[in-house]
Chains A and B, each alone.
Chain A
Amino acid sequence: MIKLSAEFLKGIIKQNPIFVLALGLCPVLAVSTSVSNALGMGAAATFVLVGSNGIISLIKNVVPDKIRIPCFIIVIATFVTIAELVMKAYSPALNRALGIYVPLIVVNCIVLGRAEAFASRRPLLDSLADGLGMGAGFTLGLMLISSIREISGSGKLLGYALLPGFQPALMMALPPGALLVIGVMLGFFNLLKGRKE
């Protein structure tokens, strides 16, 4: 049990996919304009991560080594399709807001990265915990970035206006704002890491 919780917890800070592993930055840049988008993207990615990690961990011994990547991609694509169809059916507005970035979870480096580095060589329960932890770390990181960007870039949080008379810095809602926030956060995490060592 302790081992499982360790596999789960490492994804949140110590090996945070966004700030420490620097994986999956493309959707982070694109969908972090608002917290609601970030939550949707985080949930979808977590679902895909847990599902694909689980299946890949189960099939790891029957998949020939040479064609493992195509096999992993098919597993991942299946879960992405499920996520996309569910999102289209129950939350079409969110699906429109996220747009192309939902199907693009297939090529998200976190998902394939965890499949290759973790799930393809570890037992089922460990892989599930790892997927859940990485998904949680991804979602938390995405929420942190998107709340900074939504507050400073449009003066709102979760769509509610915060301060009357506050003039938001438009740039923070535009692509340069995403690069700026992620760069500063990466630097900050590196600083913390340096302090600890």
Chain B
Amino acid sequence: MENKLIVAAAPHLHARESTARIMWSVSLALLPAGAAGVYFFGYAALAVIIVSIAAAMVSEWLLQKLTRRQTTLSDGSAFLTGLLLAYNLPPGVPLWIPAIGAFFAIAVGKQIFGGLGQNIFNPALAARAFLMASWPAYMTSFRAPGFDAVTSATPLSALKEGRLQQVYSYLDLFLGNKAGCIGEVCVAALLAGALFLLLRGYITWHIPAAYLLTAGIMHYIFGPSGIFSGDWLFYLLSGGLVLGAFYMATDYVTSPLTAKGQLIYGAGCGLLTVVIRLWGGYPEGTCYAILMMNAAAPLIDRYTRRRIYGTGKV
């Protein structure tokens, strides 16, 4: 990263952007959502976030030392991976879960492929899938907001099991007054951070828009009482959809490069999320949908490659 000699094709524009700057900006944009999570779930959530980040950074440093590569802790990617992983965990998990998860994210999700930029799957989501498959009991026990740690089902899992007794107002869902993972509950804070990223140009609208639009339309079409009767707003505000659409699916490394490819990719994510949510075994499908589309990203890139000027069909 600190290589001073930069050889690139013209035009030679100078910008202050760098990997580190982008990573820290995304982390900054995620801050309000984390703060909201800590506000709703108490210090247990803060402990999960701290352990996850610390474990991710220690793993990154250790593995790069072991393989005798330059340590790249300062570029913020390990910090961001730890942060995102913590946001995808229920607030009450024992603290060894984020520690093992963060190590898995860095070791198996990223460094095994050769480090940042080489990984096929979003490391944080890969780690979440690993934790989900390994310790499902911990990963699916959520608690209601408040400091008294009452276990509660998330709106989506309650709905899936057909026992959604509590009626959630859209405002509650939007502000985060519901059970869920640490970083996904407060949609308002997530959207505020996403707006910052969009305005700075760190993410483009293609993936999130395609993702949310496809998911919303699908949820509207396949409602509980016949076609075109779905409560799409409830579904969009529940679960990890907003966190996934703006912060996970837009990961540079694991998403397609062209605008057209990103639209296809976002639509695929939305489609798979809804399919898993409505007809799959799990109440929430964002994580698996994005992982599956991560695997498809190179293929999408191949089919949406821009034609080199002056070659191919006219």
Q: How far is the CA of A99 from the CA of B122 in the complex (A)?
A: 37
Flag if B136 contacts A170 (CB, 8 Å). Answer: yes
Flag if A170 contacts B133 (CB, 8 Å). Answer: yes
B313 to chain A, nearest CB (A): 40
A44 interface residue per 8 A CB criterion: no
Report A-chain residues with C-beta under 8 Å of the C-beta of B133.
Answer: 170-171, 174, 176
Q: How far is the CA of A187 from the CA of B113 in the complex (A)?
A: 10
Flag if A170 contacts B134 (CB, 8 Å). Answer: yes
Flag if A180 contacts B135 (CB, 8 Å). Answer: no
Report B-chain residues with C-beta under 8 Å of the C-beta of A169.
Answer: 100, 130, 134-135
Report A-chain residues with C-beta under 8 Å of the C-beta of B134.
Answer: 168-172
Instruction: Out of B100, B112, B135, B136, name the residue touching A184 (CB < 8 Å).
Output: B112
Hey, what's the 0/1 contact readout for B102-145 against A, CB within 8 Å counting as 1?
A: 00000010001000000000000000001001111000000000
Flag if A167 contacts B112 (CB, 8 Å). Answer: no
Q: How far is the CA of A167 from the CA of B108 in the complex (A)?
A: 20
Question: Which residues between 163 and 197 of chain A lie within 8 Å of chain B, taking CB atoms?
Answer: 167-172, 174, 176, 180, 184, 187
Report B-chain residues with C-beta under 8 Å of the C-beta of A171.
Answer: 130, 133-134
**Which A residue sits closest to B136, measured CB to CB?**
A170
Q: How far is the CA of A176 from the CA of B133 in the complex (A)?
A: 9
Report A-chain residues with C-beta under 8 Å of the C-beta of B130.
Answer: 169, 171
Flag if A170 contacts B135 (CB, 8 Å). Answer: yes
Query: SS class of chain A's interface: helix, strand, loop or mixed?
Result: helix
**Which B residue sits closest to A170, measured CB to CB?**
B134
**Which B residue sits closest to A169, measured CB to CB?**
B134
Q: How far is the CA of A176 from the CA of B112 in the complex (A)?
A: 16
**Which B residue sits closest to A183, measured CB to CB?**
B112
Report B-chain residues with C-beta under 8 Å of the C-beta of A168.
Answer: 134
Flag if B135 contacts A187 (CB, 8 Å). Answer: no
Question: Which residues between 141 and 177 of chain A lie within 8 Å of chain B, taking CB atoms?
Answer: 167-172, 174, 176
Instruction: Out of B100, B112, B136, name the residue touching A187 (CB < 8 Å).
Output: B112
Q: How far is the CA of A33 from the CA of B51 in the complex (A)?
A: 31
Report A-chain residues with C-beta under 8 Å of the C-beta of B100.
Answer: 169
**Which B residue sits closest to A152, measured CB to CB?**
B134
Report A-chain residues with C-beta under 8 Å of the C-beta of B112.
Answer: 184, 187
Q: How far is the CA of A108 from the CA of B94 in the complex (A)?
A: 44
Q: How far is the CA of A167 from the CA of B93 in the complex (A)?
A: 13
B94 to chain A, nearest CB (A): 9
Instruction: Out of A170, A174, A180, name the residue touching B108 (CB < 8 Å).
Output: A180
Q: How far is the CA of A187 from the CA of B111 in the complex (A)?
A: 12
A153 to chain B, nearest CB (A): 9
Report B-chain residues with C-beta under 8 Å of the C-beta of A170.
Answer: 133-136
Q: How far is the CA of A176 from the CA of B130 in the complex (A)?
A: 9
Q: How far is the CA of A167 from the CA of B131 in the complex (A)?
A: 12
Question: Which residues between 209 and 248 of chain B lie within 8 Å of chain A, taking CB atoms?
Answer: none
B90 to chain A, nearest CB (A): 16
Q: How far is the CA of A4 from the CA of B37 in the complex (A)?
A: 67
Q: How far is the CA of A184 from the CA of B63 in the complex (A)?
A: 15
Q: How far is the CA of A96 from the CA of B135 in the complex (A)?
A: 28
A11 to chain B, nearest CB (A): 27
Report B-chain residues with C-beta under 8 Å of the C-beta of A184.
Answer: 108, 112
**Which B residue sits closest to A191, measured CB to CB?**
B67
Q: How far is the CA of A9 from the CA of B121 in the complex (A)?
A: 39
Q: How far is the CA of A184 from the CA of B135 in the complex (A)?
A: 22
B292 to chain A, nearest CB (A): 14
**Which A residue sits closest to B108, measured CB to CB?**
A180
Q: How far is the CA of A180 from the CA of B112 in the complex (A)?
A: 11
Q: How far is the CA of A132 from the CA of B112 in the complex (A)?
A: 34
Q: How far is the CA of A172 from the CA of B133 in the complex (A)?
A: 9
B93 to chain A, nearest CB (A): 12
**Which A residue sits closest to B132, measured CB to CB?**
A171
B142 to chain A, nearest CB (A): 19
A55 to chain B, nearest CB (A): 43
Q: How far is the CA of A184 from the CA of B104 in the complex (A)?
A: 13
**Which B residue sits closest to A167, measured CB to CB?**
B135
Residues of A within 8 A of B (CB): 167-172, 174, 176, 180, 184, 187
| 4 tightest A-B CB contacts, nearest first | A169-B134, A171-B133, A171-B134, A170-B134
17 additional contacts (CB under 8 A) given A167-B135, A174-B133, A184-B112: A168-B134, A169-B100, A169-B130, A169-B134, A169-B135, A170-B133, A170-B134, A170-B135, A170-B136, A171-B130, A171-B133, A171-B134, A172-B134, A176-B133, A180-B108, A184-B108, A187-B112
14 A–B contacts from the bound complex (CB under 8 Å):
A168-B134, A169-B100, A169-B130, A169-B134, A169-B135, A170-B133, A170-B135, A171-B130, A171-B133, A171-B134, A172-B134, A174-B133, A184-B108, A187-B112
